[in-house]
Amino acid sequence: MGLIKHRPTVRLRLPAVIHPGQTVKVLTIIDAKRKVPIESITAVVTGSDECSVGSGKNRQTYRKNFIKLAVQLSGSGELRRRTSRYRWQFVLPDDAPPSFEGQESSTRYAIEVRVAIPWWPDRHSDFAVTVALPPATVDESKPEVFSTNPDGPNAEEPYLECSLGTRTLAPGSELHGSMALSNVAHNRYRKLVLALVAREYRRDPRGRSIGSTLELHRFKYELPLEELVEGQAIPFHLRLPAAMPPS
């Protein structure tokens, strides 16, 4: 064997999207142009939260690993020429958060495969992994009612009540509800705007709130108003965005 050793290449096959609690089957493929002595082959699954605050020289980035799963694929030996395959699996905790990319914070998952080669630089290969929550079960048996004043209409001031079929919103699903306006004789209501707002909160590794709250998305729905009747329900049916970030 020559003095100059060869570092193999690494490929990974697994589902494009995985879910917490799912048994994920992985195929690690290692290609070598010639035989390579190895000390070990390991795979490490990591999940991490990262957030940043400030700018310029005052910018700080906080990172916390909340998942680290290690699997040894091979011990000491020799990689044969051409292709070697290693099958393994892992399970993320049921409460693992989904992948997320915000303005100043993120939740990311990755798999690092390390081929340890004696007396030679190791081969490190990193692969991003996408984690998504399973489809949410929308329970419409518990509607929610909101109002601009918990004590009800006051004198001639604008007043709105909103009833939602549920507080559990699933991306791509329909939201059913109704609104009602009061004191219509004293206020010129032109239209109703329902906004679904996604906000980003940043926390350090100790869970303490840092920085200001950031607005990620604002999905707006306008409901036209025609002939208004005092306190009459105005029903609506909205299709929620499929790309709605989780909370």
The whole-chain average pLDDT of the chain stands at: 88
DSSP state of 188: -
Residues 177-230 have pLDDT tens digits of 899 999 999 998 888 888 888 888 888 778 788 888 888 888 888 887 878 888
Tokens coding 53:
């605050």
pLDDT band at 67 (very low <50, low <70, confident <90, very high): very high
List C-alpha distances in Å: 24 to 14, 21, 238.
Answer: 7, 9, 35
Tokens coding 109:
């998952």
User: Are the beta carbons of 29 and 102 closer than 8 angstroms?
Assistant: no
DSSP per residue over 60-129, as a string? EEEEEEEEEEEEEEE-SEEEPSEEEEEEEEEE--TTPPPPEE-SSEEEEEEEEEEEE-TTSPPEEEEEEE
| 141-161 average pLDDT score | 87
- CB neighbours of residue 163 within 10 Å: 16
- 114 pLDDT higher than 90: yes
- 2 pLDDT higher than 60: no
User: Are the beta carbons of 201 and 213 closer than 8 angstroms?
Assistant: yes
CA–CA separation, 67 vs 46, rounded Å? Answer: 5
**b/e per residue 21-34 (b: at least 16 CB within 10 A):** ebebebebebebee
Question: What's the pTM value of the predicted model, to 2 decimals?
Answer: 0.79
Angle at 121 between CA 115 and CA 127, to 5 degrees: 45
CA–CA separation, 147 vs 212, rounded Å? Answer: 27
CA–CA separation, 126 vs 112, rounded Å? Answer: 4
Which of 128, 115, 111 shows the shortest CA–CA distance to 38? Answer: 115
CA–CA separation, 30 vs 12, rounded Å? Answer: 9
Quote the pLDDT of residue 1: 45
Which of 20, 24, 79 shows the shortest CA–CA distance to 47? Answer: 20
